[in-house]
Amino acid sequence: MKKLAVFASGTGSNFTAIEKAVRSGQIKAELALLVCDRPEAPVIDKAKACGVPTLVLQPKAFPTKAAYEQVILNTLLEKDVFFIALAGYMRLVGSTLLKAFPSRIVNIHPSLLPSFTGLHAIEQAIEAGVKVTGVTIHYVDEGMDTGPILAQQAVEIGDLDTLEAVEARIHEVEHALYPETLAALLNDY
């Protein structure tokens, strides 16, 4: 069974969706590790509650990004991790990990890329007045929310929609689209 690691910094609703999909057999992989860069992030308890090993680091504690990523890489190699899914990991992946996992790191972003990269993508879409936004899953490269697109799904924005309402619909789409896309990528191996 191929081993999957999830990287997350926050709430972890996508982590939970992926974990459920692994447990149900939709994604044919073992969820071998959660990597988290924020010791206070709620995703850590979610992983612990379902028995997924965690690696929690403080990036500030390392002299360089390469040193921080080298510690992550050592653990990934130790655990024989094959594939990485970023799920709300609020940090650019550096060359240490990109070189070690070529075309084996994917990310989920709450907009129809290439529109609205970076932070607060849902707010950016609402402020821009677009009527359709959505969710993108893409391979990770050295850029911010760049890299070849694997899957996209649209979410409409109504004239009277609140940020919370759009966020809720985006999350609903994410929680189905990410497991489906990971299954399509991993189940072939």
Task: Catalog residues that contact ligand GRF under the rule CB under 6 A.
Answer: 8, 10-15, 87-88, 108-110, 174
Q: How many CB atoms lie within 10 A of CB 175?
A: 18
Q: Is 138 a catalytic site residue?
A: no
Active-site residue, from 109, 120, 138, 175 = 109
SS3 18: helix
Q: How far is the CB of 88 from ligand GRF (least distance, A)?
A: 3
Residue 42 and residue 31: Cα distance in Å, rounded? 18
Judged by beta carbon, residue 109 or residue 169, the one nearer ligand GRF is 109
Within the chain, residue ranges assigned H as helices are 13-24, 43-49, 65-78, 95-100, 121-128, 163-186
Q: Which residue sits closest to ligand GRF, CB atoms considered?
A: 88
Judged by beta carbon, residue 70 or residue 134, the one nearer ligand GRF is 134
The three-state DSSP-derived secondary structure of 152-187 is EEEEECCCCCCHHHHHHHHHHHHHHHHHHHHHHHHC
Judged by beta carbon, residue 106 or residue 186, the one nearer ligand GRF is 106
Q: How far is the CB of 77 from ligand GRF (least distance, A)?
A: 25
Answer whether 25's CB lies under 8 Å from 106's CB: no
Q: Which residues are catalytic?
A: 109
